[in-house]
Structure 1
Amino acid sequence: MQGKNGKKNSQKRDDPYNLVILEKRSSELIACLTGIWRRSVKETHLFLNDQEIRKIEAYVPEALLEVPVLIIAVNAENEPAAFMGADGGRLEMLFIEPEERGKGLGGRLLAYGIEKLGIRELCVNEQNPQAKGFYEHMGFTCYKRTDTDEQGNPYPLLYMHLSERKDVPV
């Protein structure tokens, strides 16, 4: 379904969230999504201090502009509640407003990515056990571990791929 401003919409009837595939990315939207990223990271990446979060945050707007596929979930008030970025078959980012966690939104976004975008790979910080558990629940298994992140920082990464399971829980 095509929405305003060239956005493609996907919504289930009983779901208060609308998934929007963004073709245009305004500076206001990038600032809003960066805020979601920051609040989400403060809740889930407890191994990062405020200085480290600010350092990483400086790169978030560029990543949001450059990721080939960016999908946001908007609530009934048309406000972004979560977002997911993908490149080919790889999940690049998935962040959810802290107050929206636990409502199935992450599962819905990832299931959409698996089904419609062919997502089969991702990496997650080893020090974020909630995310690791979520991805395992969604059918991903770890095939590689590194001692550092992709920038060489001392944050181990787990590389995961979708197992051969046919069902994807939502």
Structure 2
Amino acid sequence: MKEGSGPVILRACRGEAEYPALVDIWRSAVRATHDFLDGSDFTRIESRLASDYFPAVTLTVAEKDGKPAGFAGVHGDSLEMLFVSDAVRGQGIGTALLSEVIAYQGVSKVDVNEQNRGAYGFYVSRGFVRVGRSELDADSRPYPTLHMELSTNR
């Protein structure tokens, strides 16, 4: 059986014990999609995922073939993170997670690194429109951020 051939199951995160698997997914996804990210920033963000970032959001996990394959983190009406393991990218997991958090958690906003053209295209193709831009990211680092909102004309 090829990897990723089973159905996608969406569920709530099972708590801190699952954080290492989510960090692995983050690492895989960021290495595949964030070639603009400085190595020291990669290390800094990775070191804060389990301690700071995961506890601050509601985490939804996408499970495929019995193991986590992607996750989304929501705070209020904002999608704060959505990452899919590179091994199963392009198989609809990101779309399933996004649809879930829009439908059941009221997500209507997302910020995207300007250099991450793939993510920007992903959100545009799913009904988000650019409503603003910041020269720095939320940590005041030199990663321009595009602010997006779900279009009311979907």
TM-score of the superposition, structure 1-length normalised? 0.83
State the partner residue of 2:60. 71
Q: Percent identity?
A: 36
Question: Which residue number in structure 2 is paired with residue 164 of structure 1?
Answer: 152
In the TM superposition, what is the alpha-carbon distance from 1:48 to its structure 2 partner?
Answer: 1.2
2:34 aligned partner: 45
AA in 2 matched with 1:82: G
Q: CA deviation at 1:157?
A: 0.2
Paired residues of 1:25 and 1:65 also in contact (CA < 8 A): no
What CA distance in whole angstroms lies between the structure 1 residues aligned with 2:144 and 2:95?
24
Corresponding residue for residue 82 of structure 2:
94
Structure 1 residue runs without a partner (length 5+): 1-14
Equivalence for 2:142: 154
Aligned CA RMSD, in angstroms, stands at: 1.5
Matched, 1:81 2:69: yes
Partner in structure 2 of residue 56 of structure 1: 45
Match of 1:17 in 2: 8
Partner of 1:10: none
Q: Secondary structure at the match of 1:58?
A: helix
Distance in 1 (alpha carbons) for counterparts of 2:141 and 2:77: 25
Separation in structure 1 between the aligned mates of residue 49 and residue 115 of structure 2, nearest angstrom: 20
Contact 2:8 2:63 in 1 (8 A): yes
If asked which structure has higher relative contact order (CA below 8 Å, sep 6+), I would say: 2
Instruction: Tell me the SS of whatever aligns to 1:151.
Output: coil
Q: What are structure 2's unaligned runs of at least 5 residues?
A: 1-5
Whichever of the two has the greater Rg, that structure is 1
Q: How many residues align?
A: 149
SS in 2 for 1:155: coil
Give the structure-2-normalised TM-score. 0.91
For 1:108-131, what per-residue CA distance to the aligned partner results, in whole angstroms no more than 9, with x for missing partners?
A: 110111111111001000000000
